[in-house]
Structure 1
Amino acid sequence: MLLVLILGMVPALLLILYMYRLDKIEPEPVGLLGRLFLFGGLTTIAAGIIEEIGMLIAGALIWNPKSLIFLLVENFIVVGIAEEGMKHLALRRISWYRPEFNYRFDAVVYSTAVALGFAAFENVMYIFNFGLGVAPIRAITAIPMHCICGIFMGHYYGEAKLCEMRHEWSKMNYYQAMSLIIPILLHGFYDFAASSVEPLLSVIFLCYVIILDVIAFLSVRRYARQDVSV
């Protein structure tokens, strides 16, 4: 059990450490990040319940579970909205009014802490259920994907906070919406391509993961360099 916890948690914790070290101006309190990580993990329970209900509804409305429309509904609407929606809810409830949230890049640190908490808890459950063999592949695919969704969620969430400070309410609402929509789309396509047995989609999945990793790596470093107070 200890090995399962280590293999499940360490990749996510290393990514959190990387995000923490990118925050050069004013590093965030470790206690706050720990709380975000924990609540991110706990959202796996709520997301799982929502997904079960969503799949029952999808199954009742779409008879063929192997059809393209079913896969799209499952991955973009059921899983994407459930998981990214619960992460976003935890992020906003904990961080939006915190006095420590005073720089735009703080949002990326907070969001990735939530996302990686979710990823770590989910990863432990996967390893426990399917064995240690799934740990290496999830360490380079699923966990970074959750982190990437957190990066872009945090970027738009930080832009929304900046707009709030400037009293640009319509822009604030726009960026709040984008902080949820973009991760849902990224996550949905990842799961859709990963769940397909079509060889072409398997190739697309591999290219998607590599390209998105590079874009996210370059983007998060740029976000850190261009940090401003909010």
Structure 2
Amino acid sequence: MFAILSAGIAPAFALMAFFYLKDRFTEPLGLIIRIFTYGALLVFPIMFLQYAFQAEGIVTSPVINSFILGGLIEEFFKWFIFIYVIYHHTEFDAHYDGIVYAVAISLGFATVENLLYLLTNGIGYAFSRALFPVSSHALFAVSMGYYFGKAKLNQQHRKRNMMFALVVPFLLHGTYNYILKTITSDWLFLLIPFMIVLWVYSLRKVKIANQQPTHNLILQEKQRA
């Protein structure tokens, strides 16, 4: 049991540390833990909704299953929690902060999901789960946080960027699910390149966000103008 708990939690903590330590102005750990916990609690209402749709036989198409039942529902709940809990928080004052908080929400979700999977299927899946599902959740969140950061710092295009904060991770998540659910053989030949591109894309977003000034600095510059 201890081995499964360790294997289930370790990937999320490693990824959280990676993105957290890239922040030029580190965020309060207490707030990160709080956001992480909200993400973890999301697993249960999402699982209930997904089970209800499947039990009723409402979802039969692989496309709908991958993009709507998986990608849209999961990313919408994360997006909603971000807006409700952190978007208006005073600690969210820099572009990169959006990435840190979105990753915290997503990895909270991924940790509980991973633990439940390993408890059901065994520790033998720990490495592949860490490499693909857990890391992919973190990378989807990078896009969400990147566009939330843009929305926070640029009020002129706030609504558009908040929409992108949902649409981009939803499409990435849906594509990931579709590869897993529809490619019965040689799926790794599609998934590995997809993950490489996703990592490159996400690290590029991290670099851009880290180069932007804080929200307070932008306000000060506007006041001087």
The alignment's TM-score, normalised by the length of structure 2, stands at: 0.90
* Structure 1 residue 106 corresponds to structure 2 residue 97: yes
Amino acid paired to 2:128: I
Q: RMSD of the alignment, in Å?
A: 1.6
5+ long unaligned stretches in structure 1: 63-69
What SS does the aligned partner of 1:105 have? helix
- Structure 2 CA distance for partners of 1:60 and 1:87, relative to 1, 3 Å: closer
TM superposition shift of 1:181: 0.6
Deviation per CA, 1:159-207, whole angstroms, max 9, x where unpaired?
A: 111123xxx2xx2111111100111100011011012244365422222
- Structure 2 CA distance for partners of 1:205 and 1:223, relative to 1, 3 Å: same
Distance in 2, matches of 1:109 and 1:29, equals: 11
Specify the alignment match of 2:5 in structure 1. Answer: 5
Distance in 1, matches of 2:91 and 2:183, equals: 46
Deviation per CA, 1:123-150, whole angstroms, max 9, x where unpaired?
A: 1011001000110001111111000011
Specify the alignment match of 2:213 in structure 1. Answer: 228
Distance in 2, matches of 1:110 and 1:178, equals: 16
Deviation per CA, 1:41-70, whole angstroms, max 9, x where unpaired?
A: 11011111121233345x3464xxxxxxx1
* Structure 1 residue 155 corresponds to structure 2 residue 141: no
- Structure 2 CA distance for partners of 1:91 and 1:60, relative to 1, 3 Å: closer
Moved more, 78-87 or 149-158: 78-87
Q: How does 1:1-230 map to 2 (within 5 A)?
A: 1-24=1-24, 26-56=25-55, 59-60=57-58, 62=60, 70-164=61-155, 168=156, 171-199=157-185, 201-224=187-210, 226-230=211-215
The alignment's TM-score, normalised by the length of structure 1, stands at: 0.88
Distance in 1, matches of 2:207 and 2:58, equals: 45
Distance in 2, matches of 1:78 and 1:42, equals: 18
**% identity of equivalent residues:** 28
TM superposition shift of 1:89: 1.4
Distance in 1, matches of 2:32 and 2:58, equals: 40
- Structure 2 CA distance for partners of 1:61 and 1:229, relative to 1, 3 Å: closer
What SS does the aligned partner of 2:154 have? helix
Distance in 2, matches of 1:17 and 1:219, equals: 17
8 Å CA contact retained: 2:32, 2:101: yes
Distance in 2, matches of 1:95 and 1:187, equals: 22
Deviation per CA, 1:79-114, whole angstroms, max 9, x where unpaired?
A: 111111111111111101211111111110000000
8 Å CA contact retained: 1:105, 1:228: no
Moved more, 90-99 or 48-57: 48-57
Distance in 1, matches of 2:117 and 2:105, equals: 18
